[in-house]
Amino acid sequence: MKNVKKRIAEYRANLKSLVEQRNDKVVEMQAIVDKAKTETRAMNDEEMTKFNVLEKEIANIDATIKAEERARDLNLNVVDPKKKEELRAEEAEERAFANYIKGVVEQRADINLTTGDNGAIIPSSIANKIIKKVYDICPIYQLSTRYNVGGTLNIPYYDESTQTITMSYATEFTELESTSGKLKSIELKGFLAGALSKVSKSLINNSQFDIVNFVIGAMADAISKWIEKELLNGTVDKVAGLSTVTQKVDAASSTDLTADELIDVQEEVPDVYQGNAIWIMNKKTRKSIRKLKDNDGNYLLNKDVSAKWGYTLLGKDVYTSDNMSEMAAGKTAIYYGDMSGLAVKLSEDISIEVLREKFATQHAIGVVGWIEIDSKVENAQKISKLVMKAAV
């Protein structure tokens, strides 16, 4: 007996094929009406016949879709009623999203998207898939401490950098001296950012093309690349990211580094935070480190099939990103530590805007995804950095 997930996937594939056929016929019907309207005339007999045939075919497809849904529900009797309802809702949202991109308006208002000032109010199932894909393909965001809320967020933390709670011997009848740290907070706001993807109209009109998953993938890819750049480098008066890391080691050279400097960077992070620590650097920096050896002639950086990204350095995984600076004067070449020390606030309320006319001369449409994000270092002890020597 096939498992439930596989059967659900099969039913979804069948429904998707039927919906795409229906959409193609709707577009064809509209083209017939538009042609007569453009030529300021009534539809001729041939056009009317074709229109009626298409209308009947659409009605048959609608009936088939309903039958398919009923058959699915009867066959998926191991799925509880709540799950069935969630499945129906998700399918309807995906269908409405695909139609919104194609410019097709359903006759049933309950399965159309509500539009607002920033485009459509995107279904939660689509927004969640975009956010999940961003999570999957952006390790820095994945490893950070995430707050998926809107508005301004204040995160309290206990600061003992200048004074700590201490314990000492005491003498009877002598007052204890009070010592304590300070309770501070970081404020995360919501900075608006947009990601644009262009989609070929030829692909949109292709009934075999999965437009929903394409847009989800394109949006997630564009958003994740931008988020990673901001988390690693920050922007003045916007997202700070790791740019405010305070624990640092200054390299003696502006173009090279040593094994001792790497050890110093690692030792900046207290042992209690070493468990989930990773290295972050540019691929060219990793290439230079691959040539470094210890006093016994052993390479410091090693290939490791069990490592997340294929390499370990001083026992910790190495992640490379093109968004990290290369080894150059005054640049931060390496981050090291537990990235949960970085707080990221990303609102899950993504809005989508479809630009139909702007790219018409390119035979394409634009799909813009809007997000609100902010990020700051939440625990300064968890992360350190290596900064190359400034130019003289």
Give residue 250's pLDDT. 96
pLDDT digits (tens, 9 = 90+) for 319-363: 999 999 999 999 999 999 999 999 999 876 677 777 878 888 888
pLDDT, residue 190, reads 84
Query: Comparing 206 with 58, which gets the higher pLDDT?
Result: 58
Average pLDDT of the chain, as a whole number = 82
Could you tell me the pTM of the whole model?
A: 0.70
pLDDT recorded at residue 27: 82
Residues 8-37: what's their mean pLDDT? Answer: 79
pLDDT score, position 1: 42
Q: What is the pLDDT of residues 135-186, one digit of tens each?
A: 888 999 999 999 877 777 777 765 655 555 566 666 676 665 555 556 667 7
Q: Residue 82 — pLDDT band, cuts 50, 70, 90?
A: low
Which is nearest to 386 in space by CA: 229, 230, 299, 269? 269
